[in-house]
Amino acid sequence: MIIVHTIQEIRKYVREQRAKGHTIGFVPTMGYLHDGHLSLLRAAKAQCETVVMSIFVNPLQFGPNEDFERYPRDLERDAKMAEQAGCHIIFAPDVNEMYPRSKGSVLTRVEVDEVTVQLCGASRPGHFRGVATVVSKLFNIVQPDQAFFGMKDAQQVAVLQTMVDDLNIPVEIVPCPILREVDGLAMSSRNVFLSADERQQALVLHASLQMAERMVADGVRDVVQLKQAIREQIQTAPLADIDYVEILNFRDLSPIMTIDQPALLALAVRFGQTRLIDNIVLKIR
């Protein structure tokens, strides 16, 4: 496996792979890999001949009071894990390579409406503008056939699918399932920040998603009732500070009152300094 840091190098590499007739699978990440990321690499490896991963902690998608500075970084560790999962090349640019105008700034932005209004789009103003802009750039740099994203960031997948559709970007977005620890906590690079107590209490997230799934299986259809039950369940954990609990149309993330088609139940909850997200798609049998 190779690691490159410049746009010129990754473009040259991809051009060479293309010349061999290889298809390109792309896994954009912010690094500090966990099994969730590795599952994306394996999915890419299964479908494409060349697997490219980017590692870039994108300042544009962090708010001024968010955790850009303390976001965990360890390229050496990431490289070992990525290689074992079948990655062929890591593109790890620095901020200056991605935003040469001035550190972290850019004159051109990609804005996506409607699917960004709810959930993390509401809690983190500008977040999805930063995501859409950097992913546009990465797609233009790598020019992959397929790009693999985890469903833990379900809204991110919806935003990027909307962007790709609207701008006719010739890349297929491939959503991949959430990976969980054995006790049910969704894998996240931020889990490393949790104290032992927070880590234990964070299990309430997956438990509340499972409870909602059971309620729907038992015939509950009312969104207000479901959200109330989930909130109460989460609040049994004293360290949990709810950012949002939302149930939206899975297709376009529009508000719904009743579960009558696939719905996204998404939640964001703080434990101490650490904000965790999780979700499940509620379906009627």
167 contacts its own copies (rule: CB under 8 A): yes
Contact string 8-47 vs its own copies (x = CB under 8 A): ---x------------------------------------
108 contacts its own copies (rule: CB under 8 A): yes
The CA distances from residue 245 to 161, 182, 278, in Å, are 23, 24, 10
* Nearest distance from C-beta of residue 215 to its own copies, angstroms: 32
Residue recorded with tokens 């870039």: 56
Contact string 48-87 vs its own copies (x = CB under 8 A): ----------------------------------------
Count of CA atoms in the C-beta half-sphere (13 A) of 58: 22
Could you tell me how many residues of this chain bind its own copies (CB under 8 A)? 27
* In contact, 83 and 1? CB cutoff 8 Å: yes
107 contacts its own copies (rule: CB under 8 A): yes
Residue 121 buriedness (CB in 10 A; 0-12 / 13-18 / 19+): buried
Structure tokens at 140: 């233009």
Candidates 79-87, 135-143, 228-236, 239-247: pick the segment binding its own copies (CB under 8 A): 135-143
| Alpha-carbon gap, residue 157 to 164, rounded angstroms | 10
| Alpha-carbon gap, residue 164 to 162, rounded angstroms | 6
Count of C-beta atoms within a 10 Å radius of residue 136: 18
Name which of 3 and 253 has its Cβ closer to its own copies.
253
Name which of 16 and 111 has its Cβ closer to its own copies.
111
Options 5, 22, 37, 127, the catalytic residue: 37
22 is catalytic: no
Name which of 116 and 274 has its Cβ closer to its own copies.
116
Q: If DSSP codes are grouped into helix, strand and coil, which group holds residue 166?
A: helix
281 contacts its own copies (rule: CB under 8 A): no
Q: From the centroid of its chain, how far is CA 260?
A: 26
| Alpha-carbon gap, residue 273 to 206, rounded angstroms | 19
The CA distances from residue 207 to 21, 68, 203, 230, 233, in Å, are 46, 29, 6, 9, 8
53 is in an annotated binding site: no
Answer for which of 77, 80, 103, 109 binds its own copies (CB under 8 A) is 109
Name which of 164 and 202 has its Cβ closer to its own copies.
164
Count of C-beta atoms within a 10 Å radius of residue 46: 10
* Nearest distance from C-beta of residue 24 to its own copies, angstroms: 14
136 contacts its own copies (rule: CB under 8 A): yes
Active-site residue list: 37
Residues forming contacts to its own copies in the complex (CB under 8 A) are 7, 11, 101, 106-115, 132-133, 136-137, 140-141, 143, 162-163, 166-170
